[in-house]
């Protein structure tokens, strides 16, 4: 089937793109509102950009034509925290996406403890597996796009001690929550470690030569 996005409504295109680009990691973002309230919301149009310097991106849209709180807060404070939620936080993550009246804090309502960050003023969630303090580097806003892309420099990683082994993250222990299409989530599935690509290439092409294909 061929599908031309130009002949689809924004809702249909949303369903297609969020159903095909899966699983997506979730940036559970804390920001500070102008009155000092802590805002929390999940964003799955999120990924790394570069590792040197460490940079990540998150795409944040509008709600009924208005900028989401996270959007406005990042723009005015130039900083945010990307908290990483493990699978067990699924319900809390989902609930934190509710549109609340201005001045109401998701962290307070959901009784999620926060702790100060070391470099930025925005607090991070205390009981998550990891959090990244970020400074806004850039906001990319295309004229014809509903969402803006926020690029953040990672200033500090906070990682639960037992997750780091030989400077690597133990992914099973991290147990990250992922978003798939619709109001659906996933955890980690099958794992397999590969040999070096060159070794595997040789093995697979050898097999082809043997079978004459």
Ligand X SMILES: Cc1cc2nc3c(=O)[nH]c(=O)nc-3n(C[C@H](O)[C@H](O)[C@H](O)COP(=O)(O)O)c2cc1C
Question: Contact positions toward ligand X, by CB under 6 A?
Answer: 26, 39, 41-45, 59-61, 63, 68-70, 94, 97, 99, 147, 179
Residue located via tokens 């609340």: 100
Tell me how far, at minimum, the Cβ of 199 lies from ligand X, in Å.
Answer: 38
How open is the CA angle 142-152-85, to the nearest 5 degrees?
A: 110
Tell me how far, at minimum, the Cβ of 190 lies from ligand X, in Å.
Answer: 22
Give the C-alpha separation, 60 to 62, whole Å: 7
Least Cα distance to 194 among 204, 207, 206 occurs for 204
Instruction: Return the number of the residue (116 or 183) whose C-beta is nearest ligand X.
Output: 183
Instruction: Return the number of the residue (70 or 83) whose C-beta is nearest ligand X.
Output: 70
Tell me how far, at minimum, the Cβ of 119 lies from ligand X, in Å.
Answer: 22
Question: Helix H segments across the chain?
Answer: 10-20, 69-77, 90-95, 106-109, 171-174, 197-211
Instruction: Return the number of the residue (33 or 117) whose C-beta is nearest ligand X.
Output: 33
Instruction: Return the number of the residue (26 or 131) whose C-beta is nearest ligand X.
Output: 26
Instruction: Give Cα 173 to chain centroid, integer Å.
Output: 18
Least Cα distance to 136 among 29, 24, 26 occurs for 29
How open is the CA angle 64-66-72, to the nearest 5 degrees?
A: 145
How open is the CA angle 116-122-125, to the nearest 5 degrees?
A: 60
Tell me how far, at minimum, the Cβ of 81 lies from ligand X, in Å.
Answer: 13
Tell me how far, at minimum, the Cβ of 27 lies from ligand X, in Å.
Answer: 8
Tell me how far, at minimum, the Cβ of 37 lies from ligand X, in Å.
Answer: 10
Phi-psi region of 55 (alpha: psi -120 to 50; beta: other; left: phi over 0): beta
Instruction: Return the number of the residue (170 or 175) whose C-beta is nearest ligand X.
Output: 175
How open is the CA angle 40-121-88, to the nearest 5 degrees?
A: 35
Instruction: Return the number of the residue (44 or 120) whose C-beta is nearest ligand X.
Output: 44
């Amino acid at each position: 089937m061929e599908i031309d996005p130009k002949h689809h409504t924004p809702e249909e295109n949303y369903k297609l793109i969020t159903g095909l680009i899966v699983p997506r990691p979730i940036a559970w973002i804390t920001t500070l509102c102008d009155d000092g309230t802590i805002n929390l919301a999940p964003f799955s149009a999120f990924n790394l950009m570069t590792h040197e310097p460490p940079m990540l991106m998150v795409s944040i849209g509008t709600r009924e034509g208005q900028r989401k709180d996270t959007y406005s807060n990042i723009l005015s404070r130039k900083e945010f925290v990307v908290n990483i939620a493990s699978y067990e936080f699924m319900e809390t993550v989902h609930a934190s996406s509710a549109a609340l009246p201005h001045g109401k804090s998701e962290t307070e309502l959901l009784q999620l403890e926060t702790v100060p960050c070391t470099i930025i003023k925005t607090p991070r969630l205390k009981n998550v597996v990891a959090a990244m303090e970020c400074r806004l580097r850039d906001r990319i806003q295309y004229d014809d796009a509903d969402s803006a892309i926020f690029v953040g420099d990672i200033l500090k990683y906070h990682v639960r001690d037992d997750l780091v082994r030989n400077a690597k993250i133990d992914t099973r222990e991290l147990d990250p929550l992922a978003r798939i299409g619709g109001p659906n989530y996933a955890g980690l599935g099958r794992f397999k470690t590969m040999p070096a690509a060159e070794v595997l290439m040789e093995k697979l092409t050898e097999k082809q030569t043997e079978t004459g294909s």
